[in-house]
Chain A
Amino acid sequence: MISTHFRSSLKWDFKEGLFTYAVPFLVVLILGVFLLLPVGTLVLKSCVGPTGFTLDYFKLLFENKLYTASIINSLQIGLCSTVVATFISLPLSLIHVKFKFKGKSLLFGLILLPMIMPPFVGAIGIQQFFSLYGAINLFLLSHNIISTPIAWLENNNSFYIVVLLEALHLYPILYLNLTAALSNIDPSLEEMADLFGVSKIKKFKDILIPLATPGYIAGATVVFIWSFTDLGTPLLVGYHDVVPVRIFNMVTDIQENPMGFALVFLVILMTIVFFYISRMTLRNSKKYEMMSKGHVTEAAKTPSTSVTFLIYLFSFFILFFALFPHASVFLKSISDNWFMTSFPEKFTLENYSKIFLQDLPFIGIKNSLYYASISTLFDLVFGVAIAYLITRKKIPFGALLDSIVMIPLAIPGIVLAFGYIVTFSNTPLDPLLNPVPLLIISYGIRRLPYMVRSATAGLQQTHISLEESSTLFGASHWHTLRKIITPILTANLIAGSLLCFSYAMLDVSDSLLLAMKEQYFPITKSIYTLYLEQGNGDVTASALGMFTMLLLGGMILLAAGILGKKLGELFRS
């Protein structure tokens, strides 16, 4: 009896030990090979020349006006997109926190919608409307408002279009962060200020702003880095004087032109600096974290009818602009030969049938579903295991593991894809031969933090005693995992998987750079290739873009239905 028990406990200890040490080891190994190695290779190549260590590439980089202009342009896109996104999201967050009104959940669910709408698809619609003989100019010409077409997308104008598309795509990130930060401010802090006669402006300036700043900076950093390193939007809008497009164009001659390494190093450096600033701000803000909320009054007040009207007006105004590019893509996708008219004259669904009948779009759909499913499964398995280890097991260097799995958040897709090409060329993983393993790994690694965060949040909200009581009643760890932990975490896991899957389906940088042969093209590369095709390629690209958005939108609605949660809450876990 004793020996059986001893053997079973020994067996369990072995399994437990395997789990506790093998998972972190595997994660570190995968991240080491597929994250740190490519990034390290890029850094090394940027400062090692034929004769050894050199900073010549950087010297050349800063002496070349084309590159410096691209760096400045990219920084300006990052900065302006963040500023515009702030102006959109701050009022929305304040409205969310301060007011309660009919249809609030639905409205704020819709406000998050642009997050799953890829801006580069929207760019196709923008082209249709704002090109020299696009819908807007033709409309203005036909009504004699202008005599010569306006070059909306020329020179500096395309800069503004990129900024607008980025801001309208990314403001939900800032909105979610700001709303969380503002909601966390105890209403009694404001009430206390009211009692002392602090004016509304002073209250906003001295109390709300300082307390919400850490949350804002966390969101603003993501928006800045995202728009700074986004490849798809400037590429499709035609604004090519930016760092990501320069890097994209350098992939083909990387062996001859080492300037790409220096440019990528610069992106890595800037990303690290901005994330460091964000982290420091958040660390300093820990000092502000204090007592738990006690008796707290409801912060949200019911606004008057006129204020409610203004809230709706403002929200729909934002939604109109945020969804305008995608609405125009939709219009294009159902148009039959829309050319030289301000509005389609005939409508058809034939473009949608083309995406299943033609090779290129169908390959894209099939490949993307395959790549995204496997990468999501990878995220699910490793994400839950890591989250469990971090929250439930006192493993050595748990905090370090937590930090390591978050690194992919700070590495832009373009950097990683570029690193893969440089590191794995002429190896069995050479993307030129077969990019599938690297595509799946890059999709998986870059979205792993979402799953870890999602599962960690679920586990932290669930008291360990729920698992302990199951174990006390004689359930095995495996049984407890299946019957207790998994059902409790379902909501978080679905939300996390959904984010991972959606972002993998919409991935632009890795997809455009790594998939070089048509048979391996994911959706985004198919859309881009179709868009560049002569003839009706852009119409099929629009239909494919719409199909992707509808697929993702449908999945999210389905998940919301399964979870019984509101759409907005889905993105917050």
Chain B
Amino acid sequence: MSVFFQNVCKKYGKFQAVKDLTIKIEKGSLHFLLGPSGCGKTSTLRLLAGLETVSSGKIFIDDVDVTNLPAAKRNIGMVFQNYALWPHMTVKKNISYVLDLQSIAEKEKQDRLEEALAITHLHAFQDRLPGQLSGGQQQRVALARALAIRPKLLLLDEPLCNLDTQLRMEMRENILRIHEKTKITALYVTHDQKEALSMGSAITVMHEGREIQTGTPKELYLRPKTPFLANFIGETNLLPAKILQKENQHFSIQTELGHFTVPSTQDFQVNQQISISIRPECIKIAGPEKIKEAPSFTLEAGKSTYQGECETFQLYTSSKKSIKCLTFNSKFSFPKEGTPTDCWVQPQDIILLPETFSGEMGS
């Protein structure tokens, strides 16, 4: 079951929550909508569920226009952030209640109930009220109820945000297992980038109601298209730069760190002011392993923070701009504060971004 949002807008009075959204969700994928609070991701999910009406644009499910179809007729299962379990009904009743609304035989209802309980490992809790369950168990009941109706689509609205870290890890595994087993197309809303990067087969990043970029987790991390995205997904060092020359998708750029010749799939004009993003782990402090051809530059050493498996180093450019460097299992002893330090970066690890940025980016 695939989904297509075509130029979808949603307005609440004068406030535009979703702006001209066009995305495609592939059949069988676990597609994530990722973005900071208030970016329009939950509104998008609710538009797809039919709980909100589209202001303009269209939504297709399997090429069928469902824009004006009532929620109940879309055959969608949904897990709310707070699970929305009916508190006066037992686990079993929560599931059987929705099955009773389906026009299916009694035997089929029983089979689906059993299957939903089995897939979410809830057999032992079927006679309990939701209030008598832990957060993780409640989340599984919500999932079981959503899956029991054999929906065409499964929508998950920040389903793990109320759980503690340990439980969240377990539930990620559970959701992935269930998705793997059911192969259902699912749209998952979260603001937790780690959740999206570790679980999603595709991610759409949203910001201020707009789609910023859609791609696989790796694509988004390694090839972000805007400074916002580079800063939002993982940590990065953003610096202003200028295009000096271009030749066969290789761009010669001038930055505060020096001259670099960098490959890029995006197109830029000579003299264009751009931004560059260099991930902290891509900046190396010069040592015996330095690659000969890699361009080097000198920065002033700042403080270092030991974090067990990795260590973060703070470095400064001549204009005192902070640059972060990350090393894993390093035996290297960091220079004293204020010491000039030679660093290097591989050109392909420098990401050229079309927009200039100003000040701090939200993350």
Residues of A within 8 A of B (CB): 186, 188-189, 191-198, 206-207, 210-211, 287-297
The answer to whether A211 and B87 have CB atoms under 8 Å apart is yes
The answer to whether A287 and B129 have CB atoms under 8 Å apart is yes
Q: Which of B55-63, B71-79, B192-200, B321-329 contacts A (4 or more CB under 8 A)?
A: B71-79
Identify the interface centre among A192, A288, A294, A295: most chain B CB within 10 Å of its CB: A192
Q: Which residues of chain A are within 8 angstroms of B86 by Cβ–Cβ distance?
A: 189, 192-193, 207
Within 8 A of A (CB), among B56-103: 71-73, 76-78, 80-88, 97-98, 101
Q: Which residues of chain B are within 8 angstroms of A287 by Cβ–Cβ distance?
A: 87, 129, 131-132
The answer to whether A295 and B80 have CB atoms under 8 Å apart is yes
The CA of A69 and the CA of B131, in the complex, are separated in Å by 46
The answer to whether A288 and B76 have CB atoms under 8 Å apart is no
The CA of A393 and the CA of B78, in the complex, are separated in Å by 44
Residues of B within 8 A of A (CB): 42, 46, 49-51, 71-73, 76-78, 80-88, 97-98, 101, 129-132, 135, 138, 149, 157-158, 161-162
Q: How far is the CB of B294 from chain A (nearest CB, A)?
A: 47
Q: Which residues of chain B are within 8 angstroms of A297 by Cβ–Cβ distance?
A: 46, 51
The answer to whether A196 and B72 have CB atoms under 8 Å apart is yes
Q: Which residues of chain A are within 8 angstroms of B149 by Cβ–Cβ distance?
A: 196
The answer to whether A294 and B81 have CB atoms under 8 Å apart is yes
Some 11 contacts from A to B, beta carbons below 8 A apart, are A186-B82, A186-B84, A188-B82, A189-B86, A195-B77, A211-B87, A211-B88, A287-B87, A287-B132, A295-B82, A296-B82
Tell me which of A207, A291, A296 contacts B83 (CB under 8 A). A291
Q: Which residues of chain B are within 8 angstroms of A207 by Cβ–Cβ distance?
A: 86
The answer to whether B84 and A198 have CB atoms under 8 Å apart is no
* CB contact under 8 A between A197 and B82, given known A288-B129, A289-B131, A290-B131: no
Q: Which residues of chain A are within 8 angstroms of B135 by Cβ–Cβ distance?
A: 291
The CA of A293 and the CA of B97, in the complex, are separated in Å by 22
The answer to whether A192 and B131 have CB atoms under 8 Å apart is no
The CA of A210 and the CA of B94, in the complex, are separated in Å by 14
Q: Which residues of chain A are within 8 angstroms of B161 by Cβ–Cβ distance?
A: 294
When C-beta atoms are compared, the residue in chain A nearest to B77 turns out to be A195
The CA of A528 and the CA of B287, in the complex, are separated in Å by 101
* CB contact under 8 A between A289 and B87, given known A195-B71, A294-B161, A295-B42: yes
Q: How far is the CB of A1 from chain B (nearest CB, A)?
A: 43
The answer to whether A293 and B129 have CB atoms under 8 Å apart is no
Closest 3 CB pairs of A and B: A294-B82, A197-B72, A294-B81
Q: Which residues of chain B are within 8 angstroms of A191 by Cβ–Cβ distance?
A: 51, 80, 84
The CA of A189 and the CA of B97, in the complex, are separated in Å by 13
The answer to whether A188 and B72 have CB atoms under 8 Å apart is no
Known: A194-B71, A207-B86. 19 other contacts (CB 8 A): A186-B84, A191-B51, A191-B84, A192-B86, A193-B86, A195-B49, A195-B72, A195-B76, A196-B149, A197-B101, A206-B97, A211-B88, A288-B88, A288-B129, A288-B131, A289-B131, A292-B82, A293-B82, A294-B82
The answer to whether B87 and A290 have CB atoms under 8 Å apart is yes
When C-beta atoms are compared, the residue in chain A nearest to B42 turns out to be A295
Q: How far is the CB of A280 from chain B (nearest CB, A)?
A: 16
The answer to whether B73 and A291 have CB atoms under 8 Å apart is no
The answer to whether B97 and A195 have CB atoms under 8 Å apart is no
The CA of A192 and the CA of B131, in the complex, are separated in Å by 18
The answer to whether A290 and B130 have CB atoms under 8 Å apart is yes
Q: Which residues of chain A are within 8 angstroms of B49 by Cβ–Cβ distance?
A: 195
